[in-house]
Amino acid sequence: MKRRDFIQLAGLSAGAMALPFSGFAQEVDIAHMLTPLLDTAKKKQLADVALNTAKGLGASYTDVRIGRYLNQFVTTREKKVLGVTNTESFGVGIRVIANGTWGFAASNNVTPDGIKRTTEKAVAIAKANSKFQKDPVKLATTPSYGEVSWKTPIVKNGFEVPVKEKVDLLLAANAKALEKGASFVNSIMFLVNEQKYFASSEGSYIDQDVHRTWPNFQVSMVDRQSGQFKTRAAFSAPVGMGYEYLDGRSEDKIQGPGGIILYNKSYDMIEDATMAAEQAKQMIAAKSVEPGKYDLMLEPSHLWLTIHESVGHPTELDRVLGYEANFAGTSFLTLDKWQSKKFKFGSDIVNFMADKTQVGSLGNVGYDDEGVKCKSWELIKDGVLVNYQAIRDQVNIIGQKESHGCCYSQSWSDVQFQRMANVSLQPGRQPLTPDQMVAGIEKGIYIVKDGSFSIDQQRYNFQFGGVLFFEIKNGKIEGMLKDVAYQANTNEFWNSCTQICDERDYRLNGAFNDGKGQPSQSNAVSHGSATARFNGVNVINTGRTI
């Protein structure tokens, strides 16, 4: 197992008990550790306490987030259950503008008295900070939505599914992999439910119920004679769906080049684990790649990560402005490139949309965490940089009047800030299947599933690996390769994109754990694409030593 994969799986399990509870100012009241189940009317009454208190203390703007965050982790290894962990976090975060400056405080004492004290702290922090504020905060206007609600359109609530059913599924998948000769198998079921209530001094009262699901595994095969080992990760995607994602419907399966089975809107974990063990054997026996220039054919379960790192992060406006550099650096997409209205980020067929409304995606919500109704918008149009990702106190910098609706906080106890929306490569406009794409390639590599990566602090120069690599010769898949990674810079890479399959091949993938900020926060985000071709990309052999 790769170190990155081990850390990801182990961290989700072992770190489940260390979910975020930090805030700029936070009370700890043991008497209120048990969550009261509040109806919408009660939440509104509590929110109004904060709104009225802040107004009385001179705040010009206030928003309140009452949140109940549930997580469940079911983890197994081979024939054993390693653990079942349920976590719950409940509290209130209050953000204000006083004297033109932000202030924030949070508490798990969700009572009128607790909220009043927390609001007083937030206002006091804002007024203290205002001594150092050069320019007042400017918020883009947003409508007052009144009392509204939104729910992830799930069919089956994973938290209502018996733990035994989840354990049985994970162990059945493990058993199939072991039956096919796997040396080790780790599997996990990760469920998230965010129950978020937002209220603002502008008149919005928004109740949301957000669900996310992620089944995952790592199947490792060891060749004890040679000492080699390979790991094949699950082809599942983390999704903004309920437990129905585990249905494994046949109509949601895609037969990809090389005989692999890929998944779209539902997932068959047992089938995938069986296939993973067989492919792990093939990965060990695969031919080591010859370095050189290749036409790359990148499948969506791989391409999402390249999109995330080379498109998603550099189009975040706070990174462009240098306000943010944690976890992903700043950005080479500086304002002068956008202002020119002609910077060629990619080839003419490259179009990227940011979207918080796509059903089934991790970032899909009705309203963001500062009460803005979510939408989609263009980032790259016909290869040209046309916009960024920005929130209410940023859009004025780029001369826009409306927030993009991409503000998020990982919990009630953390202040909300600009986070990545779903950023997706739009499908090709001409009919094209992956098999047809293969037929047009003389010397190439078809890459499936994300692997290791490295990218510089301006999101420009990069190297990406993968999991499965298939050699393409004279329009045909010739067999499996190993030790493959490609290198490029973001600009030349996206300008080398010559073909994108049509919407029939479009799929989502993504991450539960996109880190940003200090103190750090984690965001869930999806990236969609169809299989895409990139010509003349430099490929290195990662198995060779100098």
Q: Tell whether the model's pLDDT for residue 24 goes beyond 90.
A: no
Structure tokens at 64: 């309140």
State the pLDDT confidence band at 338, using cuts at 50, 70 and 90: very high
**Which 3-state string (H, E, C) describes 21-35?**
CCCCCEECCHHHCCC
Above 70 in pLDDT, residue 218? yes
- Whether residue 37 is predicted with pLDDT greater than 90 in this model: the reply is no
pLDDT digits (tens, 9 = 90+) for 533-546: 999 999 999 987 65
Q: What's the pLDDT tens digit per position in 270-310? A: 999 999 999 999 999 999 999 999 999 999 999 999 999 99
Q: Is 381 exposed, middle or buried (0-12, 13-18, 19+ CB in 10 A)?
A: middle
pLDDT number for residue 10: 41
Return all residues near 389 (Cβ < 8 A) that are at least 6 apart. 315, 316, 317, 354, 379, 404, 406, 418, 420, 421, 423
CA pair distance 511, 508, nearest whole angstrom = 11
The pLDDT confidence band at residue 77, using thresholds 50, 70 and 90, is: very high
One-letter amino acid of 339: Q
Convert the pLDDT of each residue in 479-488 to its tens digit.
999 999 999 9
- What is the average pLDDT across 41-61? 98
**Beta-strand pair 443-455/292-298:** parallel
**Other CB atoms closer than 10 Å to residue 4's CB: what's the count?**
13
Percent of the chain with pLDDT over 90: 90
The pLDDT score that the predictor gives to residue 327 is 86
How many Å is the Cα radius of gyration of the chain?
24
Confidence of residue 35 (pLDDT cuts 50, 70, 90): low
Residue 235 phi, psi dihedral angles, 5° rounding: -90, 10
* Residue 56, pLDDT above cutoff 60: yes
Q: What pLDDT does residue 226 have?
A: 85
Judged against a pLDDT cut of 60, whether residue 6 lies above it is answered with no
Kind and range of the H or E run holding 536 = strand 532-541
Phi-psi region of 58 (alpha: psi -120 to 50; beta: other; left: phi over 0): left
Average the pLDDT over 174-200 and give the result: 97
**What integer is the mean pLDDT of 57-74?**
98
Summarize the confidence of residues 195-222 as an average pLDDT. 98
Long-range contact pairs involving 317-320 (C-beta distance under 8 Å, separation at least 24): 317/388, 317/389, 317/390, 317/394, 317/397, 317/398, 317/418, 318/394, 318/417, 318/418, 319/459, 320/388
Contact 105, 126 (CB under 8 A): no
Question: Which of these ranges, 36-45, 295-304, 508-517, has the smallest mean pLDDT?
Answer: 36-45
Q: What CA–CA distances, in Å, run from 185 to 12, 14, 270, 314?
A: 16, 17, 12, 36
Better pLDDT: 11 or 150: 150
Residues 6+ apart with CB under 8 A from 379: 311, 315, 352, 353, 354, 385, 386, 387, 388, 389, 423
pLDDT, one tens digit per residue, over 396-434 is 999 999 999 999 999 999 999 999 999 999 999 999 999
User: Cα–Cα–Cα angle for 38, 39, 43, nearest 5°?
Assistant: 70
The average confidence (pLDDT) of the chain is: 93
Residues 6+ apart with CB under 8 A from 397: 317, 321, 390
Rounded mean pLDDT, 141-168: 97
DSSP category for residue 442: S
Instruction: Flag whether pLDDT at 25 surpasses 90.
Output: no
Beta-bridge mates of residue 220: 184, 231
How many CA atoms are closer than 13 Å to the CA of 352, on its beta-carbon side? 31
Q: Tell me if 505 sits within 8 A of 443, measured CB to CB.
A: no
Neighbour-count burial for 400-410, b at 16+ CB within 10 Å, e otherwise: eeebbbbbbbb
Answer whether 93's CB lies under 8 Å from 22's CB. Answer: no
User: What average pLDDT does the segment 162-181 reach?
Assistant: 97
- Dig out the tokens for 336 from the structure: 């002068």
How many Å apart are CA 413 and CA 430, to the nearest integer? 47
Query: What local confidence, expressed as pLDDT, does residue 29 receive?
Result: 37
pLDDT value for 546 = 53
The average pLDDT across 331-338 equals: 97
Q: How much is the pLDDT for 328?
A: 87
Can you give the residue ranges of every domain in the chain?
Answer: 3-160, 292-541
What is the average pLDDT across 39-53? 97
* pTM, full prediction: 0.92
Which range is least confidently modeled, 4-8, 290-294, 345-349, 470-474? 4-8
Q: Confidence class of residue 354 from pLDDT cuts 50, 70 and 90?
A: very high
Phi, psi of 502 (to 5 degrees): -80, -175
What pLDDT sits at residue 545? 62
For 437-453, write each residue's pLDDT tens digit: 999 999 999 999 999 99
Cα 265 to Cα 15, 119, 191, 245, 283, distances in angstroms? 29, 43, 17, 7, 27
3-state secondary structure of 105: strand
